[in-house]
Amino acid sequence: MSTNSRQAVAVFGATGHTARFVVAELLRRGIVPIAIARDLAALTAATFPGHEARGHETQGREILRRKASIDDMESLDHALDGAQAVINCAGPFLETADAVAAAALRAGIHYLDVTAEQPSVRATLDKYDIPAREASIAVVPAMGFYGGFADLLVTAALGDWDHADTIGIMIGLDSWHPTRGTRITGERNTAPRMVVAEGQLAPVQLPPSEKNWEFGDSLGRQAMVEVPFSEIILIARHVKTAELHTHLNRIALGDVRDPTTPAPKAADATGRSPQRFVVDAVVTNDGNTRRITARGRDIYAFSAPLVCEVTARLLDGRFSSVGAQPPGAIFDAQEVLSALTPDHLSFEITSA
């Protein structure tokens, strides 16, 4: 099959846990996945959640499989041939984002990744904004559960407000079974975590703040600890606020810190684990409060329809500007979230 007659999107690190969901989601959307990995044998043997693998065919739809690594720029350039965008799923992103984003720039195609690493997001936004504008492409880092998801939630909750006095993001998971990639990234990402305090990016206070939060029926009341992820960097780029903080529940934090917690396991034919999540984003402005609550299943699997929905909007021209940007700055946040309902997400916005 030629990619000339159909849209094609490259997935770098395609043998990884999240990446396999991304490839399957692209197939579901009728987009040709170009699966890229450094190990050709593992790539050839790879199967994708919810789909039967038959050589290079998956349920009659083509998956192009190409070998490339960040240590071989020529191989990476060749692997991106025919793609209109690349989704980087290979962490740690401090090691891969620069090389893959640079290759995307050379190819003149959009770049996205799913990092939760704050330093990687800052570096990508800083380095690639002007070059991406000059190339008329979009560079959107951290377009996964940790990062871009909260940025879209906050942007949707803000609505017609042009700033916030405070923004609080509460992430509740009924469990967190980390992938091998999550563990490796956690070991190597030793930079201080950043928040917005008194209107400026600043290291999170130590010991981190704690609070209790009521998530409602699904999780109930949870003990929370301040753990900022890449959403802080994204939101701070386009939203003026005096305070911006993220808290994660202790149950999830305990799981991910426990070296004996097993990796996620599929609970159904889609490959999703039974893990459930609730994310609350609360924004205040001049004494008024808006709260958006989002619920879904399996943070790794959910990242796939999320990043693919944004990618599809880039391919179709449904974005407002080029450059290195947070998703909330260039997409209609509520439209993106609504496109994920009801199959992957439910959400509601309330005011007080």
Q: Is the pLDDT of residue 186 over 60?
A: yes
Q: How confident is the model at residue 25 (pLDDT cuts 50, 70, 90)?
A: very high
| SS3 track for 1-45 | CCHHHCCEEEEECCCCHHHHHHHHHHHHCCCEEEEEECCHHHHHH
Same domain as 157, residue 88: no
Same domain as 285, residue 157: yes
Neighbour count for residue 62 (Cβ, 10 Å):
17
Same domain as 325, residue 248: no
Question: Residue 235: which residues within 8 A CB-CB, separation 6 or more?
Answer: 150, 151, 154, 167, 196, 241, 244, 326, 328
pLDDT recorded at residue 190 = 85
From residue 233, alpha-carbon distances to 133, 165, 227, 285, 341 in Å are 20, 17, 13, 20, 26
- Block residue for tokens 């329809």: 305
Q: If you count them, how many residues does the chain have?
A: 352
Q: Is the pLDDT of residue 327 over 80?
A: yes
The mean pLDDT of 334-348, rounded to a whole number, is 97
The rounded distance, in Å, linking the Cα atoms of 341 and 346 is: 6
Q: Is the pLDDT of residue 2 over 50?
A: no
Q: Hey, CA dihedral for 118, 182, 76, 28, is it positive or negative?
A: negative
For residue 110, which phi and psi values (nearest 5 degrees)?
A: -70, 150
Between 62 and 86, the more confident residue is 86
Same domain as 274, residue 170: yes
pLDDT > 90: percent of the chain: 91
Amino acid at 99: A
Could you tell me the two tokens for 190? 């030793």
Q: Is the pLDDT of residue 53 over 70?
A: no
The rounded distance, in Å, linking the Cα atoms of 1 and 263 is: 36
pLDDT recorded at residue 51 = 64
pLDDT recorded at residue 339 = 98
For residue 288, count CB atoms less than 10 angstroms from its CB and return exposed for 0-12, middle for 13-18, buried for 19 or more: exposed
The number of folded domains in the chain is 2
The β-bridge relationship of strands 323-324 and 221-226 is unpaired
Could you tell me the two tokens for 159? 């609505």
pLDDT tens column, 118-150: 999 999 999 999 999 999 999 999 999 999 999
Same domain as 324, residue 237: no
Q: Which of 5-14, 53-62, 193-202 has the highest mean pLDDT?
A: 193-202
Q: How confident is the model at residue 5 (pLDDT cuts 50, 70, 90)?
A: low
**CATH number, domain containing residue 184:** 3.30.360.10
Same domain as 152, residue 98: no
Q: Is the pLDDT of residue 58 over 50?
A: no
Same domain as 232, residue 279: yes
Question: Residue 258: which residues within 8 A CB-CB, separation 6 or more?
Answer: none
From residue 123, alpha-carbon distances to 117, 142, 207, 306 in Å are 10, 12, 26, 22
Between 263 and 188, the more confident residue is 263
Give me the chain's average pLDDT, please.
94
**CATH number, domain containing residue 48:** 3.40.50.720
Same domain as 321, residue 262: no
CA angle 148–152–155, rounded 5-degree value: 135
- Block residue for tokens 């979009």: 138
pTM for the structure as a whole: 0.95
pLDDT > 70: percent of the chain: 95
The mean pLDDT of 160-164, rounded to a whole number, is 97
Same domain as 312, residue 292: no
Q: Is the pLDDT of residue 271 over 70?
A: yes
pLDDT recorded at residue 282 = 98
Between 61 and 161, the more confident residue is 161
Question: Residue 301: which residues within 8 A CB-CB, separation 6 or more?
Answer: 18, 21, 49, 270, 271, 272, 273
pLDDT recorded at residue 59 = 44
The rounded distance, in Å, linking the Cα atoms of 37 and 331 is: 30
The mean pLDDT of 189-197, rounded to a whole number, is 93
pLDDT recorded at residue 57 = 40
pLDDT recorded at residue 144 = 98
Residues spanned by the domain of 154: 145-299+331-351
Q: Is the pLDDT of residue 277 over 50?
A: yes
Same domain as 218, residue 163: yes
Same domain as 153, residue 12: no
Please, what is the end-to-end C-alpha distance for the chain in angstroms? 54
Same domain as 185, residue 119: no
